[in-house]
Chains A and B, each alone.
Chain A
Amino acid sequence: MNQNEKVIEFSAIKKQYGNFHAVKGIDLTVHKGELFGFLGPNGAGKTTMIRILTGIIKPTSGNVLIKGYDLYKDPDNAKSRIGFVPDRPYLYEKLTPLEYFDFMGGLYNVNKNQVESKGEEMLKLFDLWDRRNELIESFSHGMKQKVAMSAAILHDPDIFVVDEPTVGLDPKSLKLAKDFFRNLISQGKTVFLTTHTLSVAQDLCNRIGIIRNGEIVALGSMSELQKKASLPGNDLESVFLKITEEEEQEKII
């Protein structure tokens, strides 16, 4: 397993909505086997970056490589390597979870048997197997999140992209999700997640990037961030607040 292999490469990514610059020229590389946490205050540009990474939106300029495949020139190869769970799990409500898996599996050209066995395994893991024949419209937010998470793994992606995985999950499901991410990493997969729950990021991530006003203001392991914030031994919450506040003050000055 080549741990130095670059699986995600953002080059000079900019995203502009009218006069508003949501992302201001970000360069970022994520390596194979990393559990990368992308943190930042509200409106910092996290979700925009994730949506660019998954090909949902196009950047105004810049490029994204997924395992060496250009996301815009070779989207089929690039996208088939990503499994994505959005922050708001809008799913096709008139389908049952198993029908939804069949749909998602088909989009990624996965064998039907693989979809069925993997789907069953995931629904059992998330305690949803008994509700497999009910329409998704009757599910709670957390249950939909679990269905979305299960669907994202069906095609066995190399990179798992998760936007706010903790939203809507109960403590038991949250623990399940965390174990699930760790398990992916142990299999040599890469996880790219954003979260506001700093304890989750501190607990899970090998490397963290902090974004503010569309720019990365800090990047590194937990100890590197503590060093940058001159707060050795402190938790991620203190480090995060220190870094983002310092940046704000620097801007004011």
Chain B
Amino acid sequence: MTDIGFVRSELVTARPAPVRTTGAIAWAQKNLFATPLDTVLTILGLLFLAWIIPPLYGFFFGNAVGPNGTVEQCRMENAGACWAYIAAEMEFFIYGFYDIPEQWRPNIVFALGAILLVPLLIPKAPFKRTNAVLFIVVYPILSYFLLAGGVFGLKVIPTEKWGGLLVTLIISVIGITLSFPLGVILALGRQSQLPIIKTVCVGFIELIRAVPLITILFMASIMLPLFMPQGMTVDKFLRAIVGVTLFTSAYMAEVVRGGLQAIPRGQYEAASALGLGYWKRMWFIILPQALKHVIPGIVNNFISLFKDTSLVYIVGMKDLLEAVKTKNDTALEWQSANTATTGYIFAAMVFWVFCFGMSRYSMYMERRLNTGYKR
């Protein structure tokens, strides 16, 4: 027997359709107008954009003087950015005082660098080892002789004449290739059991990290000549590279140390148990894991180094920023209200493209190796 106590006699009224969770309106409701506060913020943000975008657009495009413009146009009342100035001085911004008929030499160096670097950055490209050796060992030497001249009948061009983006790139590339191994050695030294080696490394790292780069460059510029035997001069370019490299290697050492400390003790012990000596243990077992851990930190250091090259004006090198500043201050034929601003914006854009590119590449590598610190 079934005892049915309740039988529904009419249909249930239909429920309202579920709130849309896709589409533009739902997205706006969720991301822009979720709460009253959100709505206020959205409106404020839109007002801010409406306030800032038209003048920026006017400055960069609308009222700007194109690359083919004249200085008279730049001097007009409401003229925007003076791109004509950049176009006219581009040669100086890239090569500095490098002899004009010889500019094919830096061009080859740029091209060669790109040809070697691009396959190095693409994970699937073959011949990684050869490629790396070419880029790290052969390329700098070749570039030096190509740029400085004096061999194969090339005209000698002293480093004082190098300038602009050329110097910025050379110092960063050499700084990166030198400071990385130096940093790894310092980090290993800091982890060492041997007290004297450990003390020396800790002292160096802490001393360098404690002081601003500007004082190290001051030191390289003023005190390095004093340290050398009498009559021996140190090239300005070399001073800049020594200063930047020493500075970055100390920071690199701390990043690498973080990676070394993240490796469990078992890895060290297992490597020892296999009978590997210290260097083999480090090279085959520890460093590959440790460095993978700290790729973001290493790239961050490279980015800092790239930005820090702007300080080499202290030792008297004309890097990109200093080249732009020099022209801003001295190019009287281009003087107008916006010349200096345009120059600095151009330099900022160049620096930004390189740094942003590096940081995006590091994020891509991080995802690929899946080693980012996920918290």
Question: Do these two chains interact?
Answer: no
Residues of B at the A interface (CB closer than 8 Å) are none
